[in-house]
Amino acid sequence: MTEVPLSKVCKIKNGFAFKSTEFKNQGAPLIRISSFEDGPVFFDDRTAFVDESYIDSKKDFLVEKGDILIALSGATTGKYGFYTLDSPSLLNQRVGIIKSGRSEKLNSRYFYHYLSILKSRILLKAGGAAQPNISTKQIGEFKIPLPPLATQKKIAAILDAADAHRQKTKQLLAKYDELAQSIFLDMFGDTWVNPKGYPINKLSEVVKPKKIITYGIVQAGENVKDGVPYIRTGDIKDGKIQTTGLRRTSIEIANSYERSKCQAGDIVMSIRATVGTIAFLPEELDGANLTQGTARISVDNERFNPLYIYHAIKSKGIQLKIERETKGATFLEITLTRLREIEIPIPPLSRQQEFDRRMNSIISQEKILKKENVYSENLFNSLLQKAFKGQLVK
């Protein structure tokens, strides 16, 4: 199959360095790294706006329907977004734009499915530095397999069908998460209001003795075969640790950072960029380490139920508290000092354990669906690899 550099079939460029002093509460929306997460671009209460006059004066930085966005620097380098809105937006610095939808040689859905492969290549290319980054020029040098348009459309149709199956499974899993939140709210109420008047503990008071909340200190970028895995902010997603693409450090370096070593059952949290995202550390990652953008919370399970603490942190009330303590102009971050001070309502242990029992009946059903999710993911990834090796459609 013929391979061509992306720059030959797509227009690729960087965003503009809009000044933060010009940001407004309304106007033309500005797409930043926080505006997408391997999916559609979204705008929320963190979105910055600039004067609408820039739509005309900065036309080179317009983002239009069908455009692809790529994060060029930071912990989430390589993540992508696609723009689905009819009205244009403007592109900020540190985000690259790929005008694949305007290429006469490239099917947009075919390219969309290529993005996950492109992301893995970007991570390999950008991962050698303490602060990962990649340029649009480097992205343009990556080669994409380019069969005839008719073949591209056939490949895209097959991958679309497989993707629809795995997305349906993911949506069902999301329903379980909604059910868990509903049970939590019914039993304990809003953690921001604490309507049941439970005693309050700081987060630093619910961890094991001599296991204060700590952060990781292994530098991101290193990757040692058969080494000790370490977790970056981008590895914590959808309530679990993403093992695909997980990097490793040497045993010697991991041992020198013993205080940020994790045990299975610890709660791992992103404290930079995607602040507040959490997951339990699974058995297979026992002994893993962390980078500086992550923190470990080892719950004292003799005094507190870890599942209760986990869902309390995930609750809207505690997430709002974390958000209020999150600062940063270049990138969002919560310091460990502020994280340790976050207050959580603590019901009687018997009540926490009752919540645990109710949740376990849900978790057992969820495990069955997770197996189906793994199957659908593996099927999709297998088809994906075959597609871009020229083995899916002859």
Q: Please tell me whether residues 245 and 378 are part of one structural domain.
A: no
Domain coverage including residue 288:
199-346
Considering the chain, what percentage of its residues have pLDDT values greater than 70? Answer: 97
Provide the CATH number for the domain around residue 268.
3.90.220.20
Confidence (pLDDT) at 365: 82
Its pTM stands at 0.62
The pLDDT of residue 187: 96
Please indicate, yes or no, if residue 15 is contained in any of the structural domains: yes
Q: CA–CA separation, 139 vs 56, rounded Å?
A: 27
CB within 8 Å of 217: residues ≥ 6 apart: 257, 260, 290, 291, 292
Tell me phi and psi for residue 46, to 5 degrees: -95, -5
User: What is the domain count for the chain?
Assistant: 3
Residue-level pLDDT at 209: 81
Kindly report the average pLDDT of the chain as a whole number.
Answer: 90
Domain for residue 355, yes or no?
Answer: yes
pLDDT category of residue 129 using cuts at 50, 70 and 90: low
Residues 166 and 289 both lie in one domain: no
Residues 361 and 285 in one domain: no
Asked if residue 223 and residue 169 are part of one domain, the reply reads no
Is the pLDDT assigned to residue 76 strictly greater than 90? no
Q: Is residue 328 part of a domain?
A: yes
Does residue 188 form part of some domain? no
**246 domain residue, yes or no:** yes
Please indicate, yes or no, whether residues 164 and 280 belong to a single structural domain of this protein: no
Q: Are residues 342 and 207 in the same domain?
A: yes
- Return the pLDDT at 147: 94
* pLDDT range class, residue 177, cuts 50, 70, 90: confident
* Residues 238-267 pLDDT 10s: 788 887 778 888 888 888 888 888 999 999
Gap between the Cα atoms of 311 and 176, Å rounded: 13
Whole-angstrom CA distances from 209 to 203, 204, 206 are 13, 10, 9
At residue 330 the predicted structure's pLDDT band, cuts being 50, 70 and 90, is low
Are 170 and 110 found together in one domain? no
Same domain, 60 and 135: yes
Per-residue confidence (pLDDT) for residue 346, from 0 to 100: 97
Amino acid at 31: I
pLDDT at 221: 64
> Is the distance from CB of 359 to CB of 367 less than 8 angstroms?
no
